[in-house]
Amino acid sequence: MVKGRVSENDFNKIFEGNPNIDFKQIEDSNIRISNIRVKNKYGEKLLGKKMGYYSTLELPKLTYYDVEMMDKISSIFGRVLKEFITMDSSKTALVVGLGNWNVTSDSLGPKVISKLFVTRHLKEFMPKYIEDDISSVCAISPGVLGTTGIETSEIVKSLVNKIKPDYVLCVDSLAARKVSRLNTTIQVGSTGINPGAGVNNHRIPLNEETLGVPVIGIGIPTVVDSLTIVSDSVNLILDTIIKDIDESYIEKNLLGERQRMDMIRKTLSISMGEMIVAPKDVDSVIESMSKMIAMGINIALHPNLDMDKLNKFIDLK
């Protein structure tokens, strides 16, 4: 598996001519967009991802304090999302905001729902008062199993059976695999999403197999477990110490990054337990990130409306 930030040249060298994976990387407004298509089972083994299409937007640091950059990201994210779906006025999309309203770091999904331009009820009950070229969009924040006593997949499946949407978009907070990814990436995938998987609380997945319609997973890493922080710190220290040591010595005498991480986890997991950590400014981060994600979704689901019109509709909510 390729880990960490890999340049386009490095990635292309690794997978050049590989029939199992397509990879493309572009830069736009200081935002790096990586697109990967896993084409078959061999590609799945190579990258550890299911067959499908994936996009990752790597954002500049402190994006959530820059209003102008937030607008750019919303626009770019909306454009990226259009590569996963094709909406028009005849189609319906259901947006699901996963997570817990009462836990700030896990409230991304519900906050996104509160900022969406939902229209299904207007098109159904007030068609004279809404433009014909506006798409049908509905949304729900189903809560979490501990609060509702109902599996999220059961709630969403029931809605899909009733509403029969063309697409389901699931938004969730993720757990970062590297500290550097925390609050700096937007991840999109055509293979759906596994609620709770990031904190080892695996629930029934939401994907095309379980729901019967295309499911797009959207997430931002908002927390990181304590062992990842320790592992990244130890690796950084070791890499600094050994950077001038002969490479052959390193290969013979020092563990690789994957082995180091496994060793650290085995050593510390018993004493430290499962601790999930969020940055101190998580409330500001979630508020800003939810605005960017919501506007990007609005742009993708209502392709006939520009950002100014969408902002006006949202301001009325």
- Stretch 297-306: mean pLDDT, rounded? 92
Angle of helix 67-81 relative to helix 282-301, nearest 10 degrees? 40
**Token pair of 227, please?**
């062992």
- Stretch 197-204: mean pLDDT, rounded? 62
Q: Encode pLDDT of 90-114 as tens digits.
A: 999 999 999 998 998 899 999 999 9
> Which range among 6-20, 47-61, 124-138, 177-191 shows the weakest confidence by mean pLDDT?
6-20
Cβ(188)–Cβ(116) below 8 Å: no
- Tell me the C-alpha distance between 32 and 142, whole Å: 32
* Angle, alpha carbons 32-180-215 (nearest 5°): 60
**Token pair of 144, please?**
């979490």
pLDDT of 208: 96
DSSP string, 199-257: GT-----BSHHHHSS-EEEEEEEEEEEHHHHHHHHHHHHHHHHHTTS-HHHHHHHS--H
- Give CA torsion, residues 260, 261, 267, 268, to 10 deg: 140
Cβ(63)–Cβ(48) below 8 Å: no
- Stretch 52-61: mean pLDDT, rounded? 92
Q: Encode pLDDT of 246-288 as tens digits.
A: 555 555 455 556 666 666 666 666 666 667 777 788 898 899 9
Residue 249: CB partners within 8 Å, gap ≥ 6?
none
Mean pLDDT across the chain: 83
pLDDT band, residue 136 (cuts 50/70/90): very high
- Tell me the C-alpha distance between 226 and 273, whole Å: 9
* Radius of gyration of the chain measured on its C-alpha atoms: 21
Residue 72: CB partners within 8 Å, gap ≥ 6?
29, 31
pTM of the model: 0.82
Cβ(168)–Cβ(158) below 8 Å: no
